[in-house]
């Protein structure tokens, strides 16, 4: 018995004191905040808040970049009091991450009204003057943010947008209630739980071995070309979605494909971009553009694409009449860069 207890105690001591990675401890901490309203409210006391107005983040210009300022709970309470707002509005905030030191980060939209809010939206010009910044459309500012701010603000906008559109239960029609972290909404009348979701989208760079296929939609900025992309249909696998999208948009049949990476994309309604490389059979490369989907598409040589990557300044290229590619933060840029560095994707496994 004593031997068993000794072994058990040593095992308990080992598991109690084993070293965990920063990633694991952060993940467990964020999980706790999502599941425990009291813990989340406590984290707000020492946390930092990013502010939005009608889904536009507050930004400040710093040389050639934008920065997203943080505000403490005390600063936020003072701001709300100055504009005659109840501090209960802070409960409309959503958890978007934390630092390695477990400083929790939240986002709060001062221009949206929740179904339970007793406060009207705050006026944008007065807020900008007080906060010494501008509420800017995220899509326009995204590529002038550093990687950390771009990721946090994308997550924040997607969550705030989802909550704004899911304030009522689709079954009962009654107002839903968010938990403190904003990781779910619950209908009090029937206990249905709603979780924020992303729509899966395949984005595919097609190659014939020596060239890659780039296309543009009419909604793209002038002169920008990118990889083919489309939403996955219900019931489809990733591979089926890639093959269907390529067939629909340019009438080509994919022979081989390979997964590359994925990325959350907040526009227009929070998508999970799943990036793939695909090849078509040599000699079967004649494209027929589906004008319901695309404005233009074409094959581009390795030299053309490599040159576009090197000079990827959209403003200069619009003036010169040359095409340009998605900025570095976009996963389409990564796909194109991978192909330039390794153009012979015809050796992809089936």
- Name the CATH architecture for the domain at 199-313+320-341: Alpha-Beta Complex (3.90)
| Domain-wise residue ranges, the chain | 22-163, 199-313+320-341
Express each pLDDT in 17-56 by its tens digit: 456 688 999 999 999 999 999 999 999 999 999 999 999 9
3-class state of residue 75 by DSSP: helix
Residue 142, pLDDT score: 87
Q: For residues 144 and 329, what is the distance between their CA atoms, to the nearest angstrom? A: 10
Q: By percentage, how much of the chain surpasses pLDDT 70?
A: 87
pLDDT classification of 7: cutoffs 50, 70, 90: very low
- For residue 124, give Cα distances in angstroms to 37, 110, 131, 134, 345: 30, 9, 10, 9, 50
pTM of the shown model: 0.85
| Euclidean distance between CA atoms 91 and 299, whole angstroms | 51
- pLDDT tens for 92-145 read 999 999 999 999 999 999 988 755 455 566 788 889 999 999 999 998 898 889
Note the pLDDT of residue 320.
58
**Residue 260, phi-psi category: left (phi > 0), alpha (psi -120 to 50), beta (remainder):** alpha
Do the Cβ atoms of 39 and 33 come closer than 8 Å? yes
């Amino acid at each position: 018995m004593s031997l068993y207890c000794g072994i058990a105690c040593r095992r308990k001591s080992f598991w109690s004191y084993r070293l965990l990675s920063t990633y694991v401890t952060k993940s467990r901490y964020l999980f706790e905040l999502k599941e425990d309203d009291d813990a989340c409210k406590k984290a707000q006391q020492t946390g930092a808040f990013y502010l939005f107005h009608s889904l536009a983040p507050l930004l400040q210009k710093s040389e050639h970049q934008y920065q997203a300022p943080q505000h403490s709970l005390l600063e936020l309470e003072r701001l709300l009091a100055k504009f005659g707002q109840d501090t209960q509005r802070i409960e409309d905030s959503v958890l978007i991450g934390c630092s390695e030191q477990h400083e929790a980060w939240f986002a709060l939209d001062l221009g949206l009204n929740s179904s339970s809010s007793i406060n009207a939206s705050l006026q944008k010009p007065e807020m900008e003057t007080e906060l010494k910044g501008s509420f800017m459309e995220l899509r326009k500012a995204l590529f002038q943010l550093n990687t950390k701010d771009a990721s946090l603000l994308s997550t924040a906008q997607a969550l705030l947008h989802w909550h704004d559109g899911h304030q009522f239960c689709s079954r009962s029609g009654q107002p839903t209630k968010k938990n403190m972290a904003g990781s779910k909404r619950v209908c009090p009348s029937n206990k249905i739980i709603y979780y924020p979701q992303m729509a899966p989208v395949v984005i595919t760079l097609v190659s014939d071995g020596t060239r890659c296929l780039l296309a543009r939609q009419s909604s793209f900025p002038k002169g920008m070309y990118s990889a083919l992309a489309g939403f996955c249909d219900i019931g489809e696998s990733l591979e089926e979605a890639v093959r269907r999208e390529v067939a629909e948009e340019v009438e080509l049949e994919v022979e081989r494909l390979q997964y590359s990476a994925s990325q959350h994309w907040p526009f227009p309604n929070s998508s999970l971009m799943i990036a793939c490389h695909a090849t078509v059979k040599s000699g079967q490369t004649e494209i027929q553009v589906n004008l319901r989907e695309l404005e233009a598409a074409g094959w581009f040589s390795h030299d053309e694409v490599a040159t576009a990557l090197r000079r990827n300044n959209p403003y200069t290229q619009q003036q010169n009449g040359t095409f340009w590619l998605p900025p570095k933060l976009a996963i389409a840029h990564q796909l194109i860069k991978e192909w330039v560095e390794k153009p012979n994707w015809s050796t992809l496994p089936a």
